[in-house]
Structure 1
Amino acid sequence: MRQATGILTIDTRRQGLVDVTDRVVGWVERQGIAEGLLTVFCRHTSASLVIQENAAPAVRRDMEAYFNRLAPESRDYEHDDEGSDDMPAHLKTALTGVQLSIPVLGGVPALGTWQGIYLFEHRTRPHRRELALHLIGA
C-alpha cells in the first residue's frame, strides 16, 4: 500500500465553476498508483467541489444561476464582513461540500464519460484556492 499527498493551487477569476479535471488527473497519473482512492479536499469555506457534467456549458451556467437564486447576494445577512457575497458563499459551500472521494482504476480517477471535477468559486472577486489531494492504493 502506498500513499501520496499534494496541493493544487487554483486561481479563480470570478464566481462560477472552474474545471480542474485535467490538473487532478495529471497529478494522479504522476503518482504511479494504479488502484486506490483519491480524496480531493477544498481548503476554504467560500468555495466548494462538485462532480458535474463536462460536455454542455449550459449545465454549468444553469448550476451557477440556480445557486445564485438559492443564496442571493444581500446585505440582509448578519455575516457580511467581506461584502454582500460573503455569507451566500458560505451557504453555497455548505450545500455542495468541500470533499470528493473518487476511486482510481488503471492509474486514473474513475470518472464517468461526461463527468468533470469542478472547483465552485462562490465569491465574486478573484481568489487563489488550494485543493489538498490524498491518494492511497497500490
Structure 2
Amino acid sequence: DSYSFDFLYQKLDSLIDEEKKELLNVSAEKDRQKIFNAFQVEFGRDLSPIELETINDWIEEDKYKTDLILLALREAVLSQAYSLKYIDRILLSWEKQGIRSKVDVENLKKAREKKKENINTISNNNRNKENKPKIPLTKWLD
C-alpha cells in the first residue's frame, strides 16, 4: 500500500500561486488609486475618462513605475503645466535618457543644476572681463 500526494502538492502550489497573484493585483490597484488621487489633488478636479485612460496606458502599456509617474506630475506642477501631454513628454524624455527610477531623476536634476551653475559662472566671468569704456571721474566740489 502506498499513497501519492502529487495531486495534493499540485493543488497547494496552484493555491499559493493564486494567492500571490491576488496580492500583486491588490498592490497594483492601490498604486493605481494612489496615482489617480495624486492627479486629482494636483489638478483640483476629477479626471475625465480620457485622462484616466491615458494614465492607465502609462501603467499598463508603457510600464512606467508609480514613483516615476508621480515625479513627472511633480515636475509638471512645479512648472505650472497642468497637462497630461506635458507629463507624457516628461516621461518620454526620461525614457529616452534611460531614466527608470527616482534616483535617476534626482541625479538628472543635480546634473542640470550643476550645468546651470557652470553656465552662470562662465557668463559672470565674461561680463566682468568685457571691455568697458573708461569713464573719467572728476571732483567738482573740491
Interval containing the TM-score (normalised by the shorter chain): under 0.3
Structure showing greater relative contact order (alpha-carbon pairs closer than 8 Å, 6 or more residues apart): 1
Question: Given the two structures, how large is their TM-score scaled by the length of structure 2?
Answer: 0.22
Q: TM-score, structure 1 length as denominator?
A: 0.22
